[in-house]
A and B are shown apart, each in its own frame.
Chain A
Amino acid sequence: MAMVIDKKWLKFVCLSLVIISSIWVLTANEAAAKSEFPSKTISYVIPTSPGGGFDTFSRMIIPYLRKYLPGNPNIIIKNLPGGEWKIGINKMYRAKPDGHTIGILNMPANALPQVLGEAKYDLRKATWLGNIDDVTYVTALSLKSKYKTLEALKKAPVVTSGTVGLASTAGLGTVLAAERMGIKMKYIPHSGSTEAILAGIRGDVDWVQYPFSTLKKSIVDSQDLIPVWVYSKKRIDQIPNVPTIAELGYPELVDVVKMLRPVAAPPGLPDDIAKIWQDAFWKATNDPEFQKKQIAANASPLPMRPQELEDMVEGAIKLLEQYKDIILKHRK
């Protein structure tokens, strides 16, 4: 009799164990899936050196991304300068799509290698998370330049411009704007914006074209360079006497010469992790405290939704395809 009870009891225990372990496995898997991100330190790739605009604004947003990501994860910067941005972009693009690697880009310039068939990435496939700001460019002339007006620039046999290269939006915008305005421009490459601006101050080049935040010191504070136009629909408050490019008869250039600082993750990021990132980015870039810091640094906050970013990328690729021949001419 005792043996019969033991067998029944044993069956009961075994059945209970099977049920309990099944429930445990299922709930554990579900919990693991939910807690996979973030599960370790996040790498934020910056394809430039420390201290430039991309590094500065990335450093500025990181505390806010941490604030809005679940678990307040650690985020470290991984500067990967060189290769005209391609080293850093490739690092981000080829990382494991688990949400632990993201990277900042320079748009539309970073679409150029793709348009020219030189990139090992397709920006249309990247997972777009958010945008930090909208950069307004200013063209400034050297005090030592012979040319002081747009008309004089148009008549000049050759105008020299200090740029970092066509891989930067500043360089690309310079080439496209000069071409559109009929200015015979020769661009002189420099290792960085600081060096190019110094060349303008020294009179080594006639023209420099950089973000207002980058040029402010030279055109507002020290007045070492003369601002001649701004690439925006309305004038900049700090330089109210400087006309917009639209006022000078080239409104289409407002959309050509501008730069965004969007942030992306590798292609194939799972939807649930992408949503966590996109929500955190939206909240961080709309955080009043963060925006206050951006404005203090002469930046224009421009939070963007993923769909807007995808449209922007598509637009940038189409825009550059339109100017492909001009760009190739200037690369020779």
Chain B
Amino acid sequence: MKSILTIWVMASLVFMGCAQLAGNESKAEGPAPTVEVISPVKMDKKATTTIKGQGFKPGQEVNLLFTAKDGIESDIGYALEPAPKADESGTWSTTWKCGGFIARKLVMEGKSYKIAVTDGDYNPIAHTFVSFSK
């Protein structure tokens, strides 16, 4: 009986250890992803800016969330060209047509606003800040 219990406990420990290692594996891959944006952006109704990311998994598709002055997050995917997708080296670059937020006064001059990079379920991966000026 003791031997059965011993085998069961040992097997459980091995299983838990493997699970823990598997969980940590993805976290241990390369440097943490980062994102940067060309800022400040001119307060112009036709303004655009460039957003770049690095340290992502090759082929990884990401969403970008912009937090406007009301604190509400918006998926700005419709205004990005091209859609952000990491290349073989894990980097991506996209142009954001942000003039709509300026024209509709959803941003204010001199203030910083968050741009978050997320996965498909909007879990955060990295973030940066953008500001607007005349």
Contact = CB atoms under 8 A, between A and B. Distances in A.
Interface of A: 6, 9-10, 40-41, 43, 49-52, 55, 59, 62-63, 74, 76-82
A37 to B, nearest CB: 14
A41 B122 contact: yes
Contact of A77 (B1, B74, B121): B74
Interface residues of B, number: 22
Interface in B107-134: 121-123
Contacts of A50: 68, 74, 100-101, 104, 106
B46 interface: no
Interface centre among B71, B74, B77, B123 (most CB of A within 10 A): B74
A242 to B, nearest CB: 28
A10 B3 CA distance: 13
Contact of B72 (A62, A81, A82): A62
A41 B104 CA distance: 25
Contacts of A79: 74-76, 78-79
Contacts of B122: 40-41, 43, 74, 76
A43 B73 contact: no
Contacts of B74: 50, 76-79
Interface in B65-112: 65, 68, 70-79, 100-101, 103-106
A41 B103 CA distance: 28
Given A78-B78, A79-B76, 13 more contacts: A40-B121, A51-B100, A51-B103, A51-B105, A52-B104, A76-B65, A76-B72, A76-B74, A76-B75, A77-B72, A78-B77, A79-B78, A80-B78
Nearest to B122: A41
A79 B73 CA distance: 11
A84 to B, nearest CB: 15
A51 B75 contact: no
Interface string B44-75: 00000000000000000000010010111111
A137 B74 CA distance: 29
A50 B68 CA distance: 10
A76 B78 contact: no
Interface centre among B71, B75, B79 (most CB of A within 10 A): B75
Given A10-B1, A50-B106, A74-B122, A43 B100 contact: no
B104 A51 contact: yes
Contacts of A63: 71
A43 B72 CA distance: 12
A59 B71 CA distance: 9
Contacts of A78: 74-75, 77-78
B71 to A, nearest CB: 8
B98 to A, nearest CB: 10
Top 7 A-B pairs, shortest CB-CB distance: A51-B104, A41-B122, A77-B74, A78-B75, A76-B73, A59-B72, A50-B100
Interface centre among B71, B76, B100 (most CB of A within 10 A): B100
B103 A77 contact: no
A77 B100 CA distance: 15
A76 B77 CA distance: 12
B48 to A, nearest CB: 15
Interface string B34-45: 000000000000
